[in-house]
């Protein structure tokens, strides 16, 4: 890989203390368990790219989307009860976005194809929730409330037979947004 190609790689730096103090840990890919690198994490800096961070190991628990920028005290900013335990790098995606959402688990019931942001699933599709989906293209952020509010969940291409069993249990999805490459 050329040096210019290396510069495009995503990079996040975690710090033990607020305001980028204490021990640090640099990450350029997925990390399922950060506890072996640092016991706690209270601030971070996203130098390039976008990441999802999780308050439990193995990409579970509450999720937060982080784009390029400095987070001097994200614990209080995001209301996290615990520190970051794992993180996932979101690859850059150029091109179209497409997913099929289903009313019930295992791709059953009413189905709609989604290709753009949707700020209110109830309003747009007359669905109170959807229980499974097939992400064909692109990377998406799902939100618990309409208008991109509440808890969030990251979904990359793949089949999701039951959204209820993922990350945060009992989370409903009421709006969704494409993760565009503008965050790079």
In this prediction, residue 154 carries a pLDDT of 94
CA distance 137 to 141: 13
Which of 91, 97, 86, 81 shows the shortest CA–CA distance to 31? 86
DSSP 74: H
CB atoms within 10 A of CB 167: 21
pLDDT at residue 5 above 50?
A: no
| All domains in the chain, ordered by first residue | 3-90 (2.60.20.10), 98-183 (2.60.20.10)
In tens, the pLDDT along 12-61 reads 999 988 899 999 999 999 999 998 888 888 889 999 999 999 988 999 88
In this prediction, residue 78 carries a pLDDT of 60
In tens, the pLDDT along 150-163 reads 989 999 999 999 98
* Beta-bridge mates of residue 70: 45
CA distance 143 to 36: 31
Calculate the dihedral angle through the C-alpha atoms of 135, 137, 138, 141, rounding to the nearest 10 degrees: -20
Hey, which of 3-12, 58-67, 130-139 has the most confident mean pLDDT? 130-139
pLDDT at residue 135 above 60?
A: yes
* C-alpha atoms less than 13 angstroms from C-alpha of 80 in its C-beta half-sphere: 24
The answer to whether residues 30 and 12 touch, using CB atoms and an 8 Å cutoff, is no
Backbone angles phi, psi at 111, to 5 degrees: -130, 140
CA distance 106 to 40: 38
Backbone angles phi, psi at 66, to 5 degrees: -130, 120
Which of 26, 61, 16 shows the shortest CA–CA distance to 47? 26
pTM: 0.85
The answer to whether residues 12 and 48 touch, using CB atoms and an 8 Å cutoff, is no
In tens, the pLDDT along 12-23 reads 999 988 899 999
CA distance 30 to 42: 19
């Amino acid at each position: 890989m050329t040096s210019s190609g290396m510069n495009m790689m995503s990079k996040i730096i975690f710090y033990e203390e607020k305001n980028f103090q204490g021990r640090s840990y640099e990450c350029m890919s997925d990390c399922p368990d950060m506890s072996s690198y640092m016991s706690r994490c209270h601030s971070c800096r996203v130098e390039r790219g976008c990441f999802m961070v999780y308050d439990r190991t193995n990409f579970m628990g509450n999720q937060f989307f982080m784009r390029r920028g400095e987070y001097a005290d994200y614990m209080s900013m995001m209301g996290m009860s615990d520190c970051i335990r794992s993180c996932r790098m979101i690859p850059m995606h150029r091109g179209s976005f497409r997913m099929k959402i289903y009313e019930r688990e295992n791709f059953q019931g009413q189905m709609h194809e989604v290709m753009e942001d949707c700020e209110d699933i109830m309003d747009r599709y007359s669905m109170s929730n959807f229980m499974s989906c097939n992400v064909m293209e692109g990377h998406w952020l799902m939100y618990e409330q309409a208008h991109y509010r509440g808890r969030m969940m990251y979904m990359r291409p793949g089949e999701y037979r039951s959204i209820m069993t993922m990350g945060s249990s009992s989370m409903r999805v009421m709006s969704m947004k494409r993760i565009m490459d503008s965050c790079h």
